Amino acid sequence: MNLTYEKVTPNSKIKTVYNTPVGRDVIDKVLMQMNVSVKWLTNPLIGNLKLKHLKKWIKDPDFLQVFCDLINQEKDVAVQKGGTLTKQWWKEIVFYQIYPRSFKDADGDGLGDLKGIIGKLDYIAEMGFGGIWLSPIFKSPMQDNGYDISDYYQINPEMGTMQDLRDLISGCHARGLKIILDLVVNHTSAQHPWFIEALNNPNSDKRDYYFFRKPDDINNWVSFFFEDAWQIFEEQDIAALHLFASEQFDLNWDNPAVRAEVVKIINFYAELGIDGYRLDVINYISKKPGLPDGNKWVGDLMEFRGIENYYYGENLHKYLKEIHQKAFKPNQLFSIGETPGIGIQMGKLLSADYRQELDLIFNFDHLEIPGKVRYDDYLYDLNFYKEYIMKWNNALSNHDWMSLFFENHDNPRMISKVNPNPRYHQVLGKLIAMLLLTLKGTPFIYQGQEAGFINQTFSAEELRDVESLNKLKQSNLATVLAGSRDHARTVIKWTEQGDFSEGEPWIKGQVDKVSSIEQQLTDADSILNFYKNLIEFRNQNVDFVYAPIEFIYPKRKNFFGYIRNNYYIEINLSSDLFKRPNLKRKSKLLISNYHAATVLKIDPKQKMQPYEANLYLLN
Ligand code: ISL
């Protein structure tokens, strides 16, 4: 099913390189980061240039070789068109992501827990969600809120017990909800017994579970949390690699014993009855042998030095296939990989159905507009999301499927990113719902998003996230607040009094002016009920889920229109009035963020209001 292609060298033409999967994704990413249009490449003058001619602009002597090696390492090309679309439960449901620490506290210690979640399962099911993804709940010193695991087989005491997890799983299944857990196996906490043993006993077999080097033999990589990627242990005269927090050490997947441990973990919770996993930073598991220095030019451009040596490593496919065969497939588990930096073509190679690696990926290219990073303070232009969606839909075959999301526990709230003006809060919150629930793919809604939660303000003392606190050491509070992950981690405002916990919450709650979930449940016009209606619409129209998508007036700026089966969606992506394109087909308005559904027809001559979003039935 796969094609292979010619090896690229510095003598290859740019257009040839652009036709390889990794070449295409890397060039797209670099151009996006530099805020240069891809159209630049369709200019024959540029396309016919040889790679080596880039030396004029990219003055780094090693870059070309690094680039060619990365491209040549991928031997396969993904199927581009056609194929048979298979139906799967995970394509049909709407997922709800829960960040347990901030969701609901049942025992009054100010920290969310499993019993708290169990108490809210009725709410989740009544909203129409079909499954939940839980961020980590395992034993952890919580330096990175559970993404630093110290025992994979124990529930973090602050979250509850193994029996609570069993009750949660059966509580989900009793309501027809699927449940997936977070599998964090790129790294463990420094407090994991494997690491403690590895650090203190050079002869232990655990030594090869991690990456250790002599302190004078470390490379130049930096961590994602703005530190050096190596922690030096003076007493033991050794350094250990951590791509994330200083106490989160990377596991060495080249060691078969590590992969066997991972299979054991996956199987353990499969036996408990879970339906799948979200796999944390799973594309980072295969590091380049010898851990060479990161290229400086790539490092400066991407902000993280070293990344080309592990974000799409040479054994990535092999390791994913192995855990698929040994654990995911036999247990019929769903898998969605968190894959930062992965573009469309690489994403297809990781998740196409015939590849037997992952079922889906989270791609992040749409979260920031070209040239911006998360800590930049700017307004997100929804036209960029439209371009992104069109590009993905054009590139996907029937073997591929995409995830749809704007929010998770690592990103600020989307309403605040697009337009924080309170005037647009309601309509924008609903527009976001319209996009995620009517485009083609599986929607993931993050807790609080269904109620239109927005960014909070934090003083330096109020910040909790390790990444934000590290960032604060090198920049000012305003910069940190532009991108802080804490915006997503504010505790859920269940009632107007809060009602997250009887104790003092570990972090601030949602801003006063956004109404609580309880309040919104009683208001037919709330963002929350808009989500509920749209989810119900989606749940009752499974053929809508699988229907092809046809874009209408794709070149019209500020307008996003598409037809799926006999439904038409029209959206004004801006806060300006917009001259409504006339579809010239009879239609009936079903769901709108401006008009009551009793207004069955909208005058085609009427201008679209700021952020207006409508769903029509075509006859
Ligand atoms: O937030 C990010 C992009 O929006 C990244 O910097 C993020 O750290 C990266 O996507 C990895 O995230 C995952 O692994 C981290 C953990 O801190 C995050 O919460 C998790 O989602 C390390 O386990």
Q: Whose CA is nearest to atom 5 of ligand 1?
A: 410
Instruction: Tell me the mean pLDDT in the region 425-453.
Output: 98
**Are residues 319 and 445 located together in one domain of the fold?**
yes
Q: Cα–Cα distance between 311 and 129 in angstroms, integer?
A: 32
Lowest mean pLDDT among 292-296, 383-387, 584-588: 584-588
pLDDT band at 584 (very low <50, low <70, confident <90, very high): confident
pLDDT at 44: 85
**Are 156 and 271 in the same domain?**
yes
In a domain, residue 480? The reply is yes
Domain boundary among 507, 535, 563: 535
Q: Judge if 446 and 494 occupy the same domain.
A: yes
- Closest ligand 1 atom to the C-alpha of 184? 23
Residue with the bigger pLDDT between 181 and 40: it is 181
How many Cβ atoms are within 10 Å of 518's Cβ, its own excluded? Answer: 16
Q: How far apart are CA 385 and CA 594, in angstroms?
A: 22
Tell me, what's the pLDDT at 347? 98
Catalytic residue, candidates 158, 280, 368, 612:
280
Catalytic residue among 182, 338, 365, 407: 338
Atom index in ligand 1 nearest the CA of residue 374 equals: 4
CA-nearest residue, atom 8 of ligand 1:
224
Token pair belonging to 333: 């588990």
303 catalytic per annotation: no
Cβ distance 134 to 180 under 8 Å? yes
What's the pLDDT score for residue 471?
97
**344: which 2 tokens?**
């469309």
How many domains would you assign to the chain? 4
Secondary structure (H, E, C), 321-387:
HHHHHHHHCCCCCEEEEECCCCCHHHHHHHHCHHHCCCCEEECCCCCCCCCCCCCCCCCCCHHHHHH
Q: Are 424 and 575 in contact (CB under 8 A)?
A: yes
| Domain-embedded: residue 2 | no
Q: Which atom of ligand 1 is nearest to the CA of 144?
A: 17
Question: Best mutation site among 99, 224, 284, 376 for ligand 1, i.e. most ligand atoms within 8 A of its Cβ?
Answer: 224
- Which CATH number fits the domain that encloses residue 161? 3.20.20.80
What mean pLDDT comes out for the span 74-88?
Answer: 95
CA 411 / ligand 1 centre spacing (Å): 9
Residue 91 reports pLDDT greater than 50: yes
pLDDT at 42 over 50: yes
Q: Give dist(CA 576, CA 611) in Å, integer.
A: 8
Nearest CA to ligand 1 atom 12: 281
Q: Whose CA is nearest to atom 11 of ligand 1?
A: 281
3-state SS, residue 278: strand
Cα torsion angle, 269, 273, 278, 283, sign: positive
Closest protein CA for atom 6 of ligand 1: 224
Query: Among 509, 535, 561, where does a domain finish?
Result: 535
- Range list of H helices, 396-513: 414-418, 425-438, 466-474, 477-483, 486-489
| Average pLDDT value for the chain | 96
- The residue whose CB lies within 8 Å of the most ligand 1 atoms, and thus the one to mutate among 410, 413, 444, 446, is 410
Q: How confident is the model at residue 4 (pLDDT cuts 50, 70, 90)?
A: low
Q: Give the β-pairing of 567-572 and 613-618.
A: antiparallel
Pocket around ligand 1: residues whose beta carbon is below 6 Å from it?
144, 147, 184, 224, 244, 280-281, 338, 340, 364, 374, 409-411
410: CA distance to ligand 1 center in Å? 6
Q: Which residues contact 72 (CB under 8 A, 6 or more apart)?
A: 7, 8
**Is 312 within the bounds of a domain?**
yes
CA of 338 to the centre of ligand 1 (A): 9
| pLDDT tens per residue, range 105-119 | 999 999 999 999 999
What pLDDT score does 597 carry?
A: 66
Atom 16 of ligand 1: nearest residue by CA position: 147
Kindly state whether residues 269 and 416 are assigned to the same domain: yes
Question: Same domain for 160 and 275?
Answer: yes
- Domain with 228, as residue range(s), is 193-250
CB 347 within 8 A of CB 388: no
* Nearest CA-CA partner of 153 in 324, 249, 271: 271
587 to 541, 570, 608: CA distances (angstroms)? 18, 12, 16
Residues 528 and 606 in one domain: no
Q: What is the pLDDT, as a whole number, of residue 45?
A: 87
* Per-residue pLDDT reduced to its tens digit, 502-555: 999 999 999 999 999 999 999 999 999 999 999 999 999 999 999 999 999 999
Instruction: Judge if 278 and 350 occupy the same domain.
Output: yes
Q: Tokens 């159905």 map to which residue?
A: 353
SS (H, E, C) 52-64: HHHHHCCCCCCHH
CA-closest candidate to residue 100, choices 506, 566, 504: 506
Q: What's the gap in Å between 363 CA and the centre of ligand 1? A: 12
370 and 309 fall within a common domain: yes
468 has pLDDT over 80: yes
Q: Could you identify the atom of ligand 1 that is nearest to the CA of residue 147? A: 23
Q: What number is the average pLDDT over the span 203-208?
A: 98
Distance CA 428, CA 450 (A): 12
Q: Which of 201, 222, 250 is the last residue of a domain?
A: 250
Q: Which atom of ligand 1 is nearest to the CA of 466?
A: 17
pLDDT at position 32 is 87
Q: Distance of alpha carbon 350 from its chain centroid, rounded?
A: 15
How far apart are the CA of 551 and the centre of ligand 1, in A?
A: 33
Query: Stretch 224-244: mean pLDDT, rounded?
Result: 97
Looking at the fold, whether 372 and 510 belong to one and the same domain comes out as yes
Question: What is the average per-residue pLDDT within 382-408?
Answer: 98
Question: Does residue 337 share a domain with residue 205?
Answer: no
Residue 11 has pLDDT above 90, yes or no: yes
Domain of 559: which CATH number?
2.60.40.1180
Is the pLDDT at 3 greater than 70? The verdict is: no
CA torsion through residues 103, 407, 300, 76, sign: positive
Average pLDDT over residues 357-386: 97
Is residue 338 part of the annotated active site? The answer reads yes
331, 479: one domain? yes
The answer to whether residue 83 sits within a structural domain is: no
pLDDT bucket at 201, cuts 50 / 70 / 90? very high
Q: Which two tokens stand for residue 465?
A: 């996230």
> Residue 7 domain-assigned?
no
Minimal-distance CA residue to ligand 1 atom 1: 410
Residue 570, pLDDT > 60, answer yes
Distance 588 CA to ligand 1 centre (A): 43
Looking at the fold, whether 451 and 586 belong to one and the same domain comes out as: no
The CATH number of the domain holding residue 215 is 3.90.400.10
Mean pLDDT of 290-296: 96
Of 140, 244, 411, the one to substitute when testing ligand 1's pocket (max ligand atoms within 8 A of C-beta) is 244
| pLDDT score recorded for residue 1 | 46
**By alpha-carbon position, which residue is closest to atom 3 of ligand 1?**
410
Nearest-atom number in ligand 1 for the CA of 186 is 23
| Residue 104 counted as domain residue | yes
Across the beta sheet with 230-233, what order do the strands follow? Answer: 212-213, 238-241, 230-233
Residue nearest to ligand 1 atom 19, measured at CA: 410
Which of 281, 285, 406 gets mutated to test ligand 1 (max ligand atoms within 8 A of its CB)? 281
Most confident option among 28-37, 48-57, 254-263: 254-263
Please report the pLDDT score of residue 583 as a whole number. 87
Residue 80 lies in a domain: no
Identify whether 494 is part of a domain. yes
Helices (H) and strands (E) in the chain, counts: 23, 20
Q: How confident is the model at residue 70 (pLDDT cuts 50, 70, 90)?
A: very high
User: In angstroms, rounded to a whole number, what is the distance separating the alpha carbons of residues 319 and 307?
Assistant: 19
